[in-house]
Amino acid sequence: MDRYAVFGNPIEHSKSPLIHSLFAEQTQQAIEYGRQQPANDRFNEAIHAFFAEGYTGANVTSPFKLDAFRFADELTPRAKAAEAVNTLYKRPDGTVLGDNTDGEGLVRDLQRLWGGLDGKRILLIGAGGATRGVILPLLTAKAHSVHIANRTAAKAHALADKFDMGNKVTGSGFKDLPAMDFDGVINCTSSSLNGDLPEISSDIFANAVFAYDMTYKAQQTSFMCWAQEHNSAIKVGDGLGMLVGQAAESFYLWRNVRPKIEPVIQAVRELL
């Protein structure tokens, strides 16, 4: 039986084992999926031992996504653009492929919730790893443009410059947003975990069709409530679907079978 695990520290509360067991049941695949928690400076030893023991693949979460990026023998274009790896796959020839399925997980969840992204002008709030991982997948899904707004403006500019795609990817601080309407606003910061809000103008929601928060809670997040206060017609969603979506993409890479995410989102939400 093929064996997999999720690496992180801490990892005790990870939902990945549950999600993958639900995928396996749904698609009738016989797999084992566990948890691994190396010390913060011991990822390399742990992942070498893991593959030497005959495991087939791993999911990788905080704080090891950069370690996994460096460990992989080969990287997919989206992992290169993200500069982070959340999925490792030991191929039949013995080499380890590093992929990043976070952005595709987001795109699939947005499509599931509200349809295609064609021509949509997207605002991303935050300029950290979570933002970097979704830019290329959003553009690949035909978004018109991506604007990155960050509390620390210089980080948004640096990230936009890195992509070097002209008006397709731009950056600013919160106070000097460009005069443009956004069709979709995505909170890529973890502000909602503490019930906080990014200190950006609520005008960002004025003409938006959707507001999506990458974090999730048992109830609507502070960011989702805030969006609705300023635009009663706006549709809102949280990051549980992105979590299940990225797992589905990993499962697909490993098993060549694409599980349905909707029933798994529902099952996991019931346990929040």
CB half-sphere exposure, 135, CA atoms < 13 A: 32
Smallest separation, CB 242 to ligand ATR (Å): 12
x/- site string to ligand ATR, residues 218 to 237, per CB under 6 A? --------------------
The Cα-based distances of 12 to 89, 102, 122, 211, 254 in angstroms read 22, 20, 34, 30, 23
Q: In the complex with ligand ATR, which residue's Cβ is closer, 47 or 130?
A: 130
Largest Cα span, the chain: 55
Site for ligand ATR in 61-100 (CB under 6 A): none
Q: Residue 90 CA to chain centroid, in angstroms?
A: 22
Q: Which stretch binds ligand ATR (CB under 6 A): 8-16, 43-51, 114-122, 189-197?
A: 189-197
Q: Determine, following the binding rule CB under 6 A, whether residue 152 of this chain makes contact with ligand ATR.
A: yes
Smallest separation, CB 197 to ligand ATR (Å): 7
Closest CA to 182 of 220, 222, 132, 227: 227
Nearest 5 degrees, angle CA 3-CA 4-CA 7? 145
Which residues make up each annotated binding site for shikimate?
14-16, 61, 86, 102, 216, 246
**The amino acid at 216:** Y
d(CA 40, CA 242): 25
Q: Determine, following the binding rule CB under 6 A, whether residue 151 of this chain makes contact with ligand ATR.
A: yes
Smallest separation, CB 239 to ligand ATR (Å): 11
Site for ligand ATR in 20-49 (CB under 6 A): none
Q: Is the peptide bond preceding residue 198 cis, with omega within 30 degrees of 0?
A: no
Q: In the complex with ligand ATR, which residue's Cβ is closer, 188 or 236?
A: 188
CB half-sphere exposure, 96, CA atoms < 13 A: 22
> Per the residue annotation, which of 65, 168, 175, 260 is the catalytic one?
65
Is there a catalytic annotation at residue 90? no
Which residues make up each annotated binding site for NADP(+)?
126-130, 150-155, 214, 239
Chain contacts with ligand ATR (rule: CB under 6 A):
126-131, 150-152, 155, 188-191, 196, 198
The residues carrying an active-site annotation are 65
